[in-house]
Structure 1
Amino acid sequence: MDQKPTLKVLLAGPRGFCAGVDRAIKIVEEALKRYGAPVYVRHEIVHNRFVVQSLEAQGAVFVEELDEIPNDGQPVVFSAHGVPKAIPAEAERRQMFFLDATCPLVSKVHREAEHHFTRNRHIFLIGHAGHPEVIGTMGQLPPGAITLVEDEAQARSVEPPPGHDLSFITQTTLSVDDTAEIVDILRERFPQISAPAKEDICYATTNRQAAVKEIAPRVEMMIVVGAPNSSNSLRLVEVASRSGCKAAVMVQRGRELDLDQVAKYSSLGITAGASAPELLVEEVLAKLRERYSLDIEEVVVAEEKIIFKLPSALATAPAA
């Protein structure tokens, strides 16, 4: 039997689930254990189809809006991306039992926005239009209090309303480098603009991008395990392309990987977005082993030990 060719693989560390994603998934799983099915979830709990389908198999029911949920007393979970204030207000009006799985680092950005607003500062939010996190952050304040800035061109042209000091906040899952360039433009135009006390881009996004930057110059192709609607996963593909890779692709499952495309290269990097479970990375490695003998090296740029607590309602509720 012909011996398989060897393929060099660099595994990014950290990769995959962050503390906020892990907490959000556990909230749904724990609610199912304690209250039984169904547990309703407004929007995808995290941006990963495999995770959503796994929770559906346990009894979670995903909806887009609260009006799709019957008043049956079962828990309602808000996704990790955060929601506008109107959503919990509506849930309270309907006397729903809801659990907020918003990542604490997203909640931090919400509190920053409120802080700036109380000080009569107009807020620039650096982020992507239509992303659930951006919708949730802008929905913390009255319309017009926040202006979205998506790129450098908008940073150069945006005009704030008169009569306000200025501040900026950012989506937590952005490209570190792109955001820095946008911030530089805003600071040049508005030297007195107030910045976050601590950077808004979350530690997990920063660490995963740093690992890709470390690996990309050493490999010819980067595989990002993630979802096309996952902001942090898309940024990893972009970072890999900018950092020296000849090719950077995203796959959701191992079966999607095109081994003929891989055959063009002698070295690979593999990472996973913050909402992709390690099982999916193992799928990619298994797919590669169909054709190659793998020489795997893990490249770790940071150790992550952060754990976020579950809501107190889950800590005290009896099991179903």
Structure 2
Amino acid sequence: MNAPFNNSDAQTDRAPLNLLIAAPRGFCAGVDRAIEIVEKSLERYGAPVYVRHEIVHNKYVVEGLKAKGAIFVEELDEVPADAPVVFSAHGVPKSVPAEAERRNMIYLDATCPLVSKVHRQAERQIEKKRHIIFVGHEGHPEVIGTMGQVEPGQMTLVETIEDVDKLPFDTDEKLAYLTQTTLSVDDTAEVIAALEWRFPNIRGPKAEDICYATSNRQAAVKDLAPDCDLVLVIGAPNSSNSLRLVEVSERLGTPAKLIQRADEIDPEWLNGVKTLGLTAGASAPEVLVREVVNAIGQLRDVHEKTITAAEEKMVFKLPRQLTE
């Protein structure tokens, strides 16, 4: 665990600082559900409970669950057949639960329901004999999981408009597109526009795939960034939605820094800063937000204000194994 923020060497004049805190921020319903699945699995089955991949992209959360008895592994073959295993919120290829079934394992699927919705959409498009263009970031667990819902060769990944230009399909080919749920709203709109321009008959989902929490957190940053000299985003370097928050701020002309904990703050960042923005990616708990606020309060005379872009009341149900 990181050491507490240490201000012993910092030179500070306690100058006033306006701190604009984004709302919504931090945990979304899918992350809440995934963490609760691990915790309740530990209560029901006892330790250890295995988790395939990081349950969510946050070191603080992962370390907290390890302390309670969770064991994180990369692949299913690292899990004893008689031990319960949880699949991460990002989703897994179909081959993973199929292997768990073959081994008669107890498994719980913590895939975010909004990611599962994309999986079902992929299946439906394949049933309609359409090739799927998937907009996402290569190597991200959600992308691996979604592309693993269909047979190899039935889905093509694109990340940029340039990738769209290189697609080898004819304009009249039967195509559909889907997107990763944690992308930049603006970037994705540009890629989709390019797809629709090049392939006029391409079919998209009835509703946007980018999840409500991703969209809301980006909207909150758009609201506060223009009034800030700097924006801090609490999140992990491998968290797609957190990285997108940094990009949203920078696109509006406001510098942004991605940090995981308060001890990563360089006091020099605040030199000349009169208004600071603060938000947290969907995998970052509120305790880390307060940790950062307290650390900044050691440096400056902070005046907090919350900038609210949307209200969130979404709650997702737990798997039946944990409720029956």
**Which TM-score band (shorter chain)?**
over 0.9
Distance in 1 of aligned mates of 2:146 and 2:171: 22
Distance in 2 of aligned mates of 1:215 and 1:130: 31
1:43 and 2:53 matched = yes
Deviation of the 1:265 alpha carbon: 1.3
Is the 1:12–1:212 contact (alpha carbons within 8 Å) kept by the matching residues of 2?
A: yes
Is the 2:172–2:199 contact (alpha carbons within 8 Å) kept by the matching residues of 1?
A: no
Aligned position for 2:23 = 13
Query: Among the aligned pairs, what percent are the same residue?
Result: 59
Distance in 2 of aligned mates of 1:196 and 1:51: 32
Aligned position for 2:9 = none
Deviation of the 1:74 alpha carbon: 2.4
1:268 and 2:265 matched = no
Aligned position for 1:303 = 311
Distance in 1 of aligned mates of 2:272 and 2:316: 42
Per-residue CA deviation, residues 166-202 of structure 1 (Å, 9 max, x unaligned), is 1000000000000000000110000010010110000
Deviation of the 1:157 alpha carbon: 1.7
Question: Which residue among 292, 306, 312 is the counterpart of 2:300?
Answer: 292
Deviation of the 1:162 alpha carbon: 9.3
Is the 1:120–1:164 contact (alpha carbons within 8 Å) kept by the matching residues of 2?
A: no
Deviation of the 1:156 alpha carbon: 1.7
**How many residues are aligned here?**
313
Deviation of the 1:293 alpha carbon: 1.2
Question: Which residue among 66, 73, 91 is the counterpart of 1:63?
Answer: 73
Distance in 2 of aligned mates of 1:263 and 1:86: 52
Is the 2:229–2:276 contact (alpha carbons within 8 Å) kept by the matching residues of 1?
A: yes
- SS of the aligned residue for 1:290 comes to helix
- Which amino acid letter does the alignment assign opposite residue 247 of structure 2? E
Question: Which residue among 67, 80, 91 is the counterpart of 2:89?
Answer: 80
Distance in 2 of aligned mates of 1:177 and 1:163: 27
Question: Which residue among 171, 186, 193 is the counterpart of 2:180?
Answer: 171
1:124 and 2:139 matched = no
Aligned position for 1:242 = 251
What's the TM-score, normalizing by structure 2?
0.95
1:313 and 2:310 matched = no
Per-residue CA deviation, residues 98-134 of structure 1 (Å, 9 max, x unaligned), is 0000000000000000000000001000000000000
Distance in 1 of aligned mates of 2:19 and 2:63: 29
What's the TM-score, normalizing by structure 1?
0.96
Is the 1:80–1:103 contact (alpha carbons within 8 Å) kept by the matching residues of 2?
A: yes
Aligned position for 1:257 = 265
Unaligned residue ranges in structure 1 (runs of 5+): none
Question: Equivalent residues in 2 for 1:146-157 (5 A)?
Answer: 146-157=155-166
- SS of the aligned residue for 1:268 comes to strand
1:112 and 2:121 matched = yes
- Which amino acid letter does the alignment assign opposite residue 99 of structure 2? E
- SS of the aligned residue for 1:61 comes to strand
Q: Report the more deviating stretch, 103-112 or 263-272.
A: 263-272
Per-residue CA deviation, residues 83-112 of structure 1 (Å, 9 max, x unaligned), is 000000000111100000000000000000
